[in-house]
Structure formats: structure tokens, C-alpha cells
Structure 1
Amino acid sequence: MISDLAASVDNAGVLLQAFGFDKVRRNSRSALTALVLLGLEPGEPWNTATNPRLGVTVVMGLIAERWGKEYAPNTRETFRKQTLHQFVDAGFAEHNSDAPEGRTVNSPKNNYRIAPAALSVVRLYGTRGFQDALDAWVAEAPTQQAAYKATREMQMLPVTLPDGSVFRLSPGGQNPLIRDMIEEFCPRFVPGGQVLYLGDAKDHRYDIRQDDVFARLGLAFDEHGKNPDLVVHDERGGRLFLVEAVTSHGPIDFGRREHLKRLFATDKAGLVFVNCFPDRATMRKWLPDLAWETEAWVADAPDHLIRFT
């Protein structure tokens, strides 16, 4: 079993190299990820590979269960950002192929699977037909990647920032509300404000972050902190707006406000805490939890701001 396991992992690394992946994307973590996404166990032949849809946590669990390698829970983002994203971008895997409209980044339904075209090639690994199939896949890969990128771009949500530039957010989740926060809330209540941070609710690769301005304010942005969805600097008014999109997750309650005060403690700008809701029905649901000294804004009544003082 030990020799089967080691041989399978080594062969998976060689397979990933053949598909054109770099050293990080063919290390043991990536090789094990590929093996689990292919539905394989130690010693099983490549022609029996399948492509189940699996979430990151399930992938890590199967690596431990089937392959005897345990990874700490806090490495989940490493799997996602340093292996799976690249598998998807190369056309080797697909993300949420069962939900083209997209899912929020923290949805338990997020999943990955080996792309059907890549699976057909993998099943020939070790046979005479493998190289020809791989060459055909590589020849088609730019087209596949371009099609994937075009589809993704078409689905992306365009957002006009306060400076007039256009930015794109992932589709779905809280991002439509975040777009309203930028396009409707900011011009009304933070005219001339600069977006210092915008957190994409689905995919943090699309975040905006202005580290130089944070530094001028005496702040070091903590990417691992529990940050608000949007941070806007009103330089003229000497204020820093910490803005939260509230749909399925909680608003700025007392504990959250205290956390944000510590996270963004600066003597160069006063802090303004804003809860944003898509409609009044959602606001009513969370009303008892809102902290004093916060604001409430509703996207379907954008001209009004409620202050809890």
C-alpha cells in the first residue's frame, strides 16, 4: 500500500507537469488534490478516473482518509488559492459547474471538478494514446481558457467607482448590494470619497485595496482580520466609512463595532459605521442587533440614512 501510494502521488505530479503546471501546482498537495478530484485511491488505474464535484473541505478530508496525509484546517485557503484556482484557470478543472450563476465565497455548496475534456486525457495516462490526446488538449487549451474567461467576464458585475473608473465584481451573493453601496450610497453620503477597500463577496482575487492610503492614515491593513465589505475615505471630511453589506449575515452589532474600532484605530480620521440592506424587510430582521452609534442605509430607499445615536 505504501509503495502504491507513493507511486500514485509521484505519477500525479508527472501528469500535472505534462499538463503544463509549474512546480507549486505539481507538488504533493496539488498532486493529492488532483487524485481526489479524479476519484482515485492508491494503486487504482488512471482509466478508472471520474470527476465528482467536491468542496475544498471534502477534498482535504479525502486526502486524509484515502491517502493518509492530513492538512491543518487553516490551510484550506492555500488549497483554494494556490492549487484549485490555477487548475480552473488552466481549464483542467471547473468551479461550480452546476451553478453558472455563481455562489458566494462562503457557500457550503462551492465545488470543483476535473473538466470533462481533461478527464478524457487523464484516463489515457500511461497508454500510447496519451501523448496525442494531451497534444490535442494543449492545442485547444488557449481556446478553452479564452472561452472560460469570456464566460466569466460576461457574468461579472460592472461597478462604477467614485472616481469614474469601472471595476468588475463576481456575480451573485452580496455583490449586487455591494455595487449599490458604491454607486448609490457613496455619491449621496460620501461624495468625493475614495474606495480604500472593496471585498468581493465571492472571490477575493477581485478585491480592491489601497495600502498606500491606509499607510498614510497610520493603518496596516490586516487581510486576515474580519474586515467590512467596503472602506471609503472621506479625506475632505476627515472620516473613514466602514460599510457592511447585510443580507444573510449579521450587521454591525456592539461586538462588531468594537472589533472594527480596534482594527481601524487611527487619529487621522473619525470612524463612521454603516449597515447597508437591500430593502426594509431585511433591515427589520436585523434591527434589534444594530449597535448604537451606527448608521443604516437601505438600497431601495437610497436617499435616506438612519442614525442610531
Structure 2
Amino acid sequence: MKQYISPDNSKTFKEKAPKVQKLINAALYILDTFGIPLDSTPRRLERMALAFLASGAIKKLEDFKNVKDLNSNYALKTRDIIIYINKNFGEDISSGSYDDIRRKDLKLLTVAEVVLQSSPNSATNDSTRGYSINPTYAELIRKFGSKDWEQLVSEKLKHIEPLSKKLKREREIAKVDVTLPSGGKLTFSAGKHNDLQKAIIEDFLPRYGYGSEVLYVGDTSNKYLYLEKEKLEALNFFEISHEELPDVIAYSKKKNWLYLIEAVHSSGPISELRLLQLEKLTKDCNADIVYVTAFLDRPKFRKFMTDIAWETEVWIADNPDHMVHFNGDKFLGPYNS
């Protein structure tokens, strides 16, 4: 069976007992066979697998054959899922992060209807709504491990288009082509956030990047759309799989500056807290760090202006020839035209 997560690429996974590690990878194998896209970070995959296991009352490999489903009158609310995961899988998820269960951990599973809501017509924030395995998929899960199981799944689900295929088709419909400063090309999925990343690469870096080379770009549908891992490691950059990666990373050899750029559409400027996190993560980096928050327009900048950290930079895409410096006396002095 394929190993989707290993102790080498996930700290939380490494800390779990071997039998739990095996159970998580088995759950991901099942979800992969069901057509769930597994192109997230190791931690996101781990969280999705754990939420899936909780939704079916699965604590060990032997429980797959007795998985509970919606017809079993079994359904866990998001807070109960957290309790189940913490109790059975060595986690310490905060009870206050129950909304992440719905919005992140179960998102793909509910869209694909592998996991169903106990009261689908209730309000999004209905605290009584629970989650449980779809009986159609539970029937297949109970036969997991049998001979020709994948073929059995293929036959049973032949009239259901896999979510991974649906999402792939959607991504191919609307794309944003991006030209790197080096002349290479990237293709983003469509969306305001990715429009801003395109502007950062094509408009900001040629103006203020001092010949920068793009070393990392994350797309909303592909966290590792572009990655120069060896070049980042040569700069002693922090672990590439870390979830605190900014949206764009570029390096100017001329200045020995490493640009950490956040593209802000709905959240995520470089605040004082975010700056402290990034400074801690980059403390061993060989390059000098330039922190930049980018916005599409000034109204969006005004919305987040009070959150911007001192000693950082702001760039606004619809005024590309100007920057806002939150840098105190570094730029104090008369401006000569």
C-alpha cells in the first residue's frame, strides 16, 4: 500500500504510534481510491484522514469492516470529532477550532459526498448538525482488504465522477498564465488571489526585485506550484513543507535579499505576529529578508492598513510604480525629483 505520509515529512505524524500511522495511510488510500484529491500538505492530509476516521467510528484497522454510517444513526458534531480525534489518535486539537473541521478537514469529503451531513438543510453554523459516512461508500469500506478491492470500487462508483477529476476539469477551464522574470511560465488557477500573485511576479519583481529569481510560488489549488527547493536550502531557508510559507519567495543575488511576499485578498497581511513567526523561522537564513505585503488596490490596503507590521513593505498592484514603507527612519529625508 502506498505511503501517503511518512514520519520524515510530518512532525505530528512522526509522534504517533506506528499502528496509528498505518491506519492514517490506509484511510488515505481508501480516499484516494474513492477519487478524493490528495495534493495538500502532509498535515492537511493527516487532518482529513483523522476526520474521516472519526466520521466512521474507526479507531483501528479492524474497524473498517464495521464502519458506521448515516444509516447506523451515527453522526458526530464538529466538536465531537475533535474530542474523538484527540482521544484516539494522540492529537491535541483545540476545542475552539471546530470550524476548521467543517471548512478544511471535511471540506473535500462532504463535497464528494463520501461524508454526509446528518441535517443537510440546516444552517451552516447549526451546532446540532453531525457528520457520518455515506452508506454507499461505507459498503465499500467494509470490504476493504478483500481481493480486487479497487476493481470492486471502480464498478460500484462507475456512474459517479470522482472529485479529483471534477476539480481538474475546472482548473483546466480557467487559467492565468504567468511569466517569470527568468522567462519561464507558470499557469495559475483563476481567482483574485492568483491574479495578485501574477502581478507580484510580472510587475513588482521587475521593478523592485533587483534581478530577483522566483524560488517559490503557491497556488490556491496547488501549494507547491513552483519550487526551487535546492536553491532555498542553499540559503538555509526553513523547512519547505512548513505551513507558514508565504505566497511568493524570490531572491536577489545582487543584493543578497530574500523577498517573502504575502498576496492579500481576503486575509493574511504581514502583521506584527506574522512577522515574529517569519523572523523566527528565517533566523538561520544566509540572506537579508525583505517582508512585503501586496494588495490588488488601495481600498483593500485600507482595510488591512492597521494590521501591517513596522519594518515591512507594502505594494499595491493598481499603483505598481509606488511603495509604502513602514520602516521608520530608514527612509526619512527629503524626496528629490
Judge conservation of contact 1:121–1:137 (CA < 8 Å) in 2: no
Equivalent pairs counted in the alignment come to 258
Distance 2:230 2:32 in 1: 39
The residue identity in structure 2 corresponding to 1:32 is L
Deviation at 1:48, TM superposition (A): 3.0
Q: Does residue 300 of structure 2 align to residue 282 of structure 1?
A: yes
Judge conservation of contact 1:250–1:286 (CA < 8 Å) in 2: no
For residue 324 of structure 2, give the secondary structure of its aligned residue in structure 1: strand
Measured against aligned partners, the alpha-carbon deviations of 1:236-281 in whole angstroms (never above 9, x if no partner) come to 2321111122333353344443443342235743222212112111
Match of 1:297 among 298, 304, 315: 315
The range that moved more, 283-292 or 269-278, is 283-292
The residue identity in structure 1 corresponding to 2:270 is I
The residue identity in structure 1 corresponding to 2:232 is F
Judge conservation of contact 2:229–2:240 (CA < 8 Å) in 1: no
For residue 265 of structure 2, give the secondary structure of its aligned residue in structure 1: coil
Gaps of 5+ in 1: 1-9, 37-41, 95-107
Measured against aligned partners, the alpha-carbon deviations of 1:66-86 in whole angstroms (never above 9, x if no partner) come to xx846624599xx99xx9799
Judge conservation of contact 2:315–2:323 (CA < 8 Å) in 1: yes
The equivalent residue for 1:235 is 253
The residue identity in structure 1 corresponding to 2:71 is T
Judge conservation of contact 2:236–2:284 (CA < 8 Å) in 1: yes
> CA 1:282–1:33 in 2, change beyond 3 Å: closer, same or farther?
same
Distance 2:243 2:51 in 1: 27
> CA 1:35–1:280 in 2, change beyond 3 Å: closer, same or farther?
same
For residue 231 of structure 1, give the secondary structure of its aligned residue in structure 2: strand
Distance 1:272 1:299 in 2: 18
1:51-62 alignment, distance < 5 Å: 60-61=81-82
Gaps of 5+ in 2: 1-22, 35-44, 58-64, 116-124, 126-130, 144-148, 332-337
Distance 2:93 2:268 in 1: 23
Q: Does residue 199 of structure 2 align to residue 180 of structure 1?
A: yes
Judge conservation of contact 1:47–1:122 (CA < 8 Å) in 2: no
Deviation at 1:119, TM superposition (A): 5.9
Match of 1:162 among 181, 197, 200: 181
The equivalent residue for 1:210 is 228
The residue identity in structure 2 corresponding to 1:300 is D
For residue 293 of structure 2, give the secondary structure of its aligned residue in structure 1: strand
Judge conservation of contact 2:217–2:247 (CA < 8 Å) in 1: yes
Match of 1:48 among 67, 71, 90: 71
> CA 1:192–1:252 in 2, change beyond 3 Å: closer, same or farther?
same
The equivalent residue for 1:97 is none
Distance 2:226 2:209 in 1: 18
Distance 2:209 2:262 in 1: 15
> CA 1:262–1:48 in 2, change beyond 3 Å: closer, same or farther?
closer
> CA 1:188–1:19 in 2, change beyond 3 Å: closer, same or farther?
closer
The equivalent residue for 1:219 is 237
Judge conservation of contact 1:295–1:306 (CA < 8 Å) in 2: yes
Deviation at 1:161, TM superposition (A): 2.7
Judge conservation of contact 1:274–1:297 (CA < 8 Å) in 2: yes
Match of 1:35 among 46, 56, 62: 56
Measured against aligned partners, the alpha-carbon deviations of 1:171-193 in whole angstroms (never above 9, x if no partner) come to 44733322221222122222542
The equivalent residue for 2:8 is none
The residue identity in structure 2 corresponding to 1:283 is F
> CA 1:212–1:307 in 2, change beyond 3 Å: closer, same or farther?
same
Judge conservation of contact 1:121–1:133 (CA < 8 Å) in 2: no
Q: Does residue 287 of structure 2 align to residue 269 of structure 1?
A: yes
So what's the TM-score if we normalise by structure 2? Answer: 0.54
Q: Does residue 263 of structure 2 align to residue 245 of structure 1?
A: yes
Judge conservation of contact 1:276–1:297 (CA < 8 Å) in 2: yes
> CA 1:169–1:236 in 2, change beyond 3 Å: closer, same or farther?
same
> CA 1:71–1:216 in 2, change beyond 3 Å: closer, same or farther?
closer
1:80-229 alignment, distance < 5 Å: 93=114, 120=136, 134=153, 136-137=155-156, 139=158, 146-172=165-191, 174-190=193-209, 192-200=211-219, 202-203=220-221, 205-221=223-239, 223-224=241-242, 226-229=244-247
So what's the TM-score if we normalise by structure 1? Answer: 0.58
The residue identity in structure 2 corresponding to 1:153 is E
> CA 1:164–1:86 in 2, change beyond 3 Å: closer, same or farther?
farther
Distance 1:192 1:73 in 2: 45
The residue identity in structure 1 corresponding to 2:81 is M
